[in-house]
Structure 1
Amino acid sequence: MKKYSKAETLKYLQKFENQIGIKIPKSIFFTKREFQKNSKKLVLKIEKSFKNKKIIIRSSALNEDTSKESNAGKYKSFENINAKNREKIVSSIEVMIKDFKNLKDQILIQEFISNPDIAGVIFTRSFISNSPYYVINYDKSGKTNLITSGKNNPTMRTLYIYKDNLKNGLWEKYLNKINFLEKKIKNDRLDIEFCIKKKFFYLLQCRPLKKRSTNLKNDKILRIGLKNIQKKIKKFTKPIHSLIGNKNCFSNMSDWNPAEMIGVRPSVLAHSLYSELITDEVWAKQRKDYGYKDVRPNPLMINFGGSPYIDLRVDFNSFVPASLPDKIQKKAINYYLNKIKKNPKLQDKIEFDVVETCYDFKSRDKIALFLNKKETNIYLKCLKNQLNNIISNKNKILENETSKISFLEKKISQTNNDNISDIQKIYFFVKYCKKYGTLPFAGIARCAFISTKLLRTILELGIIDEKDHQNFYESIQTIAKKICDESSIIKKSSSSRNAFLRKYGHIRPSMYNISSKNYRENFKNYFSTKNNASKKNYKKFILDKEKIRNIDKLFKNHKLDINCKSFFKFARRSIELRELSKMVFSKSIDEIFNSLMNLSKKIHIKRDDLEYISIKKILELYSNLDIDQIRNILKYEIRKNKSFQEISNLIEFPEFINSSNDIYSQELKNNLSNYVTNKNITGELINYENIKNFKSMKNKIILLKNADPGYDFIFSHNIKGLITEYGGANSHMSIRCLELGIPAIIGIGTKNFQAINKNNFVQINANQKYFKIVR
């Protein structure tokens, strides 16, 4: 099809309306020159053409919709105007054409479809990976412009549907029409604005996305890859003798939360390291040691096409007390699996809202929902005994775990002093990290969670108030607070800087990402020369005597071997130690990376290429001393895994897998942020509302409330990235950032926006779809 403007495209498609089975609202168009020459005549033509109907005035500029750039949303539209309102029509057009650069730019007058049942935008390919997915953003608000406006839209929904598998109820028949449309236009990269009213599909606009060549080879590879993933999902859903549950589902946000820790598309090294250090066996050993069911050798995390998921059947089995009778275990686990399958939105709240993983003061009510009275009492007794074993002062669990963590630092030092190969060092760093690092950390983290859950139920019962709850957490001295305090003085002398880096220099924003520079490597960027950080004032946590008595009474009534004073001591200690132990075991990971980088220099492998090496492959080479053979083995590993990673990058992974068909069709919830580009940046954050000199935006990540076209000028200041509170995948700023290659999070939501606004340094990993507050 030859090149048309937006208005001309609609006119061309009108002759295929009946054939495709769509409706295109009546329209007329004219150029800026024509309007300036004879506006009265054109206004009369509009009135005559549309009579008493409502119209929408849209732009159709020559530079607006081409294969080189889309400029989507550059010009404002004016909607819901009566065709007889000449004054309004003229004033609206005059406002619009002020921004037109070419006299041949067009104005499109279109019949306005009011109160549609559904309205939205469809991309006919995934705009980042260019994979063959229909990306549908829509809502049922009755408005046709909310999706593209970038304003807050709590009703917006986003679907990804693989083109070769359109079995998706409502959308199947409409997407078949779009598929036919693509063939007519001979372009499979389209941005289509549409609405549905009384089951009729109205095509409102159709523009080409920025041109990218379609790789049919990639499409074929994706098709094969998705089939293999579907087979693997079916395999891990089948009943297995070592686990209870005839059903299964998978989440990337549950339990050890791989999406947060390593991302949805982690590097081979990050994925394998996280598996080796935690999710293969360490996690299960810790639970068994704390009185939970032993589910070894089942791994917790499954790799589907390069994306990590928690196996929720394995997870739920691991959370029942080992002493619980099999019959009750079966009832409980099947109940939990059914609950999460019906409520996937709870996937990141498993231990609070799905599974009873520890005793609290509301456990009876929750367990009684699926067990009879006798069974409930048995379950509660098991949970209570388990809790008493953990929190009892006699067992000194925290002290024992802390001693292991302290021993790890000694082992790291000894290994560094040994005259052995880099691969041998990596082997020992991994083994010691598991035994003295991640294993005790997992135990301390379990204690911290138990403390948090008990404290939360004490709050819910009204024994303490929100202020007490907040004061307790603000009184805790975590590593994060210490870093903030100490960073305020590190510029005063080189000795203070060196002392700071000796403590914290190994920390990196993405712990398992070897490409992420640690504090020592990137000190000047992470900590500016003018450090304005002020020392934190820790709040004192004091409860009045009546609250202490009520908490003591609560523990006594529930027959728990603890009182108010010892509980808060345990809670404070466990939460502080959780952060400390994580910092210590991360030294092992830093040393693993240092040894890998030393090895890479010897065998001439780039640092970035180390991401494609599995840590398991390195461990296999422990006894191999032939440096040439090691080089050849690792270079082959890199080539193989680069190809595998390319396939993974083509797939739009769902966050929750309920069935094997979910790999073909998924819905993103409104509160899931929209990441633009596949870049990973870390930089200083600046709130637009606080900017006094716009030159200060250079190389900054800008925090902006609305993804509105009026803010386009910010891109002239060479910003590093963008985060908006509101907006969608198809909004103006999403397309603009995509075109300019600027990493962005569009529509991060109010809660996250407020949290980020309190900080001044953030990481955006658009490829892995996560952000982290650095400081």
Structure 2
Amino acid sequence: MCAFVDAARPFHFGTKAETLQQLSRSIRSAVVLPMEYFTVRQWREDPDGCLNLVCSQTWSASTLVVRSSGQGEDSTESSNAGRYLSERDVRGRDALAGAVRDVIASFDEDRSDHQILVQPQLENAVASGVVSSCEPGSGAPYRVVEWTAGAETDEVTSGRSEVRTWYYLEAGRPRIPSPVLTGLPALVDELTELTEGVPFEFEFGITRNRIVVLFQVRPLVNVRPRISRFAHDRALAECERIINDTTKETPFALGERTVLGVMPDWNPAEMIGIRPRPLALSLYRGLITDRVWARSRYRYGYRDLRGVPLLVDLCGLPYIDTRASFSSLVPAPLNENAARGLVAHYVAELAENPHLHDKIEFAIALSSYHFATEQQAERLAATGVLSAEDSRCLVKELRELTIGIMSSSGPYRRDLREARLLASRSLDRPDTFSLARLTELVRICRLHGTLPFSGLARAAFTATSIVRSLVDVGLLTPDDADRLLGSAQTPISAMQDEFGTLPRSEFLARYGHLRPGTYDIRSPRYDESPEQYFDWSMQAPPAHKPAPFRPSARQLGAIERLLRTHLLPEDPRALLGFVVESIAAREYSKLQFSRFVSEILVEIRRAGNQWGLTADDMSYVDIDLLTGLKGERGADEATVAGAVERGRRGYEITESLCAPAVVLDPAQLTSFVSMRGEANFVTRSRSVARTADVAGGDDPEAAIAMIMAADPGYDWIFTRGIAGLITAYGGVNSHMAIRARELGIPAAIGVGHEAFRRWLREDALEVDAASRIVRPAALSVPRQG
């Protein structure tokens, strides 16, 4: 019943079965398993004849797979991938007949020309996966290989197993990450030639002797590159130049090499995303990572990195220069040779363990004193990173630095006073856009907002490190630590309680400036679109806050003795009070400086309105260009309009670039494997619930809220009573981690882009924070919109 296909005829996409039949007669770099297919009409008219046809084949005695091959499935108009049923592990005539009936029943249109495809099932595969001929989101010229090891050949599409993703550019000889994948580039090239450049993807399996088996090929629908290959190549060359320049040794950032990452230190992936618009990127740099970050650390007693930018801009992709970061975490009095050796060791450790890029201070760098610092410093001496004398000096300086942070007269108290002064500043808004006001808002936000916030965040990190070390030495349990850290009374934690009690106007007066995407002008504030975020017809669900931590007399005595041993101030209640206060202070300061960031964006949007430009238009403009305008309306309008177009073209380049979360050398710009994510689990709770794509508009109530990068503007989700939280980016000290801990919500923070994307496809998930598990769950509830 299969029609004969002339191998000399040009290739064209047909149904799944028709496409495979064509390829079986022409493909050289892979094999297509034997096959038979027939239509629904043929089955209905003569089911015995269809069964006889299949059972007459010698391969029918093996285990079979019965697959859909519908009209409109895997076509040039639509893929409908996974829409219809496939039945595996089919053995015998009766089972075959039942599988065929099940596949036909899965067709949601009663079309007699739909087809059923029967093949032997590939057994004992060593790997399987899916390959795209270009990056599906942008059409950029990367081959994208998603694969998993093992004999089950539907693991990638089913989402049941850990999946690795390899990106490589179509030109040149890519570095192949696993020997089993050796045959894939040749197959992609051959299919590219056969399809005459039409974007496609295919599913494959690989046998023990590394033969590639082709399961299906389908066109990628509505995928076209937005920039030329020449422009893409030029951007890659520029990125390579920037990386090489960043690696050059400088007098301030120590060492001969660096590692770039999207999540270390100030974590741009979480705060502005991995492909921010130019305005968001320039704001983040101007308010924090160009100068403020280093100035704050210098004030707290660390090495002077003022004048060194922390963020490296790879044609719009934001990365943290970890050499600068590590250098800035060295106590200022430490001698030059010791500091240089320490930073070189930190960078090498990160290069060896790139999965720690969101945990560099917990897992690699010694940046404050806690109850395990002496042992860690001794290990540095034992391995030759530091001399014994330098090791003792490092411990001494970290101890003094930490005591200074906790001191009533130290920089932490000064920054807390500054944050409170910022809270008292009004934001009276004139009737029309004011360039002078915009410039002043940026100045105030930088000097009185992000600068003290940077210091308060440093204090909160120091406090968290101390708590973790109390767990490590056995004086606190993990539950004790969660309750201690979660007991901080922050302004944002009050939002859930106040949602149901405050009048709407008063609630929005307090929290209305917040927006998902703090630096994104396109995102409406709470007070600009309250119905988008809040359901005013319902009361907020009661907060399930963990019971407050109350240390026992035994714990207080043991902590006091520990403090005495470590030459720290001997007041355990003061120490625990500092922990709670510093975490609350960080969140308080964040709320205050975000008022000014939000107002800056309002002022920029008003500027665009007077020039006939939308918020989307203004998202392409650099903040420095705006604050550098002359105040001459005609000239300013022309300047900004030109900047919008340049920014738009530049952002098309940004969208076309793919790069790893951690860049060790420029060669990774052309071939890399996405990192396995090691999530930061928060609380000891467990939840099984449907998933909700929050950015996609799903209602998060009673769901596992899925957010790619969740900054404070996403706090509205907690008024909806979410069951759990998963983010692609973020660390154990991120805002969302703190909020989940406060409310006792199980959360997996910073799971990585690939795992997040895979779990987002699931209808329901289990998040078991205590067991550090996220996995698909069987739950009979639909995804809600």
Residue of structure 2 aligned with 1:232, choices 217, 226, 242: 242
Q: Aligned partners of 1:648, 1:72: CA distance in 2, in Å? A: 28
Aligned residue number for residue 138 of structure 1: 147
Confirm whether residue 121 of structure 1 aligns to residue 130 of structure 2. Answer: yes
Residue of structure 1 aligned with 2:393, choices 378, 387, 391: 378
Task: Give the percent of matched residue pairs that are identical in Structure 1 and Structure 2.
Answer: 25
Residue of structure 2 aligned with 1:404, choices 392, 398, 418: 418
Change (3 A) 1:234 1:748: farther
Aligned residue number for residue 511 of structure 1: 518
Contact kept in structure 1, 2:704 and 2:722, CA below 8 Å: no
Q: Aligned partners of 1:419, 1:140: CA distance in 2, in Å? A: 62
Aligned residue number for residue 437 of structure 1: 449
Aligned residue number for residue 74 of structure 2: 65
Residue of structure 1 aligned with 2:204, choices 176, 194, 200: 194
How far has the Cα of 1:175 moved from its partner? 1.1
Change (3 A) 1:640 1:746: farther
1:209-220 maps to which residues of 2 (within 5 A)?
209-212=219-222, 214-215=224-225, 217-220=227-230
Contact kept in structure 2, 1:121 and 1:194, CA below 8 Å: yes
TM (norm. structure 2) is 0.83
Change (3 A) 1:159 1:452: same
Contact kept in structure 1, 2:183 and 2:212, CA below 8 Å: no
User: Which string of whole-angstrom CA distances, capped at 9 and with x for unpartnered residues, describes residues 391-427 of structure 1?
Assistant: 123x2433311221233345555xx489997111111
How far has the Cα of 1:502 moved from its partner? 2.2
User: Which string of whole-angstrom CA distances, capped at 9 and with x for unpartnered residues, describes residues 218-267 of structure 1?
Assistant: 33322221222122212212222332211211001111100000111111
Change (3 A) 1:663 1:172: farther
Aligned residue number for residue 466 of structure 1: 478
How far has the Cα of 1:564 moved from its partner? 0.5
Confirm whether residue 332 of structure 1 aligns to residue 342 of structure 2. Answer: yes
Structure 2 counterpart of 1:684, one-letter code? D
How far has the Cα of 1:672 moved from its partner? 8.6
Aligned residue number for residue 402 of structure 2: 387
Change (3 A) 1:72 1:166: farther
Contact kept in structure 2, 1:298 and 1:314, CA below 8 Å: yes
Q: Aligned partners of 1:284, 1:47: CA distance in 2, in Å? A: 74
Aligned residue number for residue 713 of structure 1: none
Confirm whether residue 281 of structure 1 aligns to residue 288 of structure 2. Answer: no
1:339-354 maps to which residues of 2 (within 5 A)?
339-354=349-364
Aligned residue number for residue 716 of structure 1: none
Which structure exhibits the higher relative contact order, with contacts defined as CA atoms closer than 8 Å and separated by 6 or more residues?
Answer: 1
Aligned residue number for residue 645 of structure 2: 639
User: Which string of whole-angstrom CA distances, capped at 9 and with x for unpartnered residues, describes residues 199-221 of structure 1?
Assistant: 43333323323433644853332
Q: Aligned partners of 1:380, 1:344: CA distance in 2, in Å? A: 26
How far has the Cα of 1:59 moved from its partner? 1.6
Contact kept in structure 1, 2:200 and 2:219, CA below 8 Å: yes
Contact kept in structure 1, 2:660 and 2:675, CA below 8 Å: no
Change (3 A) 1:422 1:682: farther
Q: Aligned partners of 2:44, 2:768: CA distance in 1, in Å? A: 48
Contact kept in structure 1, 2:261 and 2:321, CA below 8 Å: yes
Query: What secondary structure sits across from 2:84 in the alignment?
Result: coil
Q: Aligned partners of 1:391, 1:527: CA distance in 2, in Å? A: 39
Query: What secondary structure sits across from 1:369 in the alignment?
Result: helix
Change (3 A) 1:34 1:540: closer
1:238-637 maps to which residues of 2 (within 5 A)?
238-371=248-381, 372-393=387-408, 395-413=409-427, 416=428, 422-490=434-502, 496-534=503-541, 536=543, 539-621=547-629, 624-637=630-643
TM (norm. structure 1) is 0.84
Query: What secondary structure sits across from 2:265 in the alignment?
Result: coil
Structure 2 counterpart of 1:648, one-letter code? T
Q: Aligned partners of 1:404, 1:729: CA distance in 2, in Å? A: 37
1:68-79 maps to which residues of 2 (within 5 A)?
68-79=77-88
Change (3 A) 1:611 1:419: closer
1:3-42 maps to which residues of 2 (within 5 A)?
3-17=13-27, 20-42=28-50
User: Which string of whole-angstrom CA distances, capped at 9 and with x for unpartnered residues, describes residues 683-737 of structure 1?
Assistant: 63245799xxxxxxxxx999999xxxxxxxxxxxxxxxxx999x99999x989x9
**Please, which moves more after superposition, 170-179 or 607-616?**
170-179
Change (3 A) 1:465 1:256: same
Contact kept in structure 1, 2:704 and 2:765, CA below 8 Å: no
Segments ≥4 residues shifted beyond 6 Å: 417-421, 700-705, 727-731, 752-755
How far has the Cα of 1:98 moved from its partner? 2.3
Aligned residue number for residue 772 of structure 1: none
How far has the Cα of 1:746 moved from its partner? 5.8
User: Which string of whole-angstrom CA distances, capped at 9 and with x for unpartnered residues, describes residues 524-545 of structure 1?
Assistant: 2222122321554864431111
Query: What secondary structure sits across from 1:72 in the alignment?
Result: coil
Q: Aligned partners of 2:401, 2:579: CA distance in 1, in Å? A: 17
Q: Aligned partners of 2:274, 2:704: CA distance in 1, in Å? A: 32
Contact kept in structure 2, 1:57 and 1:93, CA below 8 Å: yes
Residue of structure 2 aligned with 1:54, choices 49, 63, 68: 63
Change (3 A) 1:261 1:323: same
Query: What secondary structure sits across from 1:368 in the alignment?
Result: helix
**Please, which moves more after superposition, 560-569 or 35-44?**
35-44
Contact kept in structure 1, 2:617 and 2:644, CA below 8 Å: yes
Q: Aligned partners of 1:417, 1:156: CA distance in 2, in Å? A: 51
**Please, which moves more after superposition, 421-430 or 202-211?**
202-211
Q: Aligned partners of 2:477, 2:290: CA distance in 1, in Å? A: 40
Q: Aligned partners of 2:90, 2:667: CA distance in 1, in Å? A: 45
Instruction: Point out where structure 2 has 5 or more consecutive residues left out of the alignment.
Output: 1-10, 382-386, 680-690, 706-719, 726-746, 772-785
Q: Aligned partners of 1:66, 1:447: CA distance in 2, in Å? A: 57
Contact kept in structure 2, 1:131 and 1:651, CA below 8 Å: yes
Instruction: Point out where structure 1 has 5 or more consecutive residues left out of the alignment.
Output: 491-495, 691-699, 706-722, 738-743, 756-775
Contact kept in structure 2, 1:277 and 1:433, CA below 8 Å: yes
**Please, which moves more after superposition, 597-606 or 322-331?**
597-606
Change (3 A) 1:187 1:93: farther
Paired residues, number: 702
Q: Aligned partners of 1:358, 1:748: CA distance in 2, in Å? A: 41
Query: What secondary structure sits across from 2:203 in the alignment?
Result: strand
Aligned residue number for residue 3 of structure 2: none
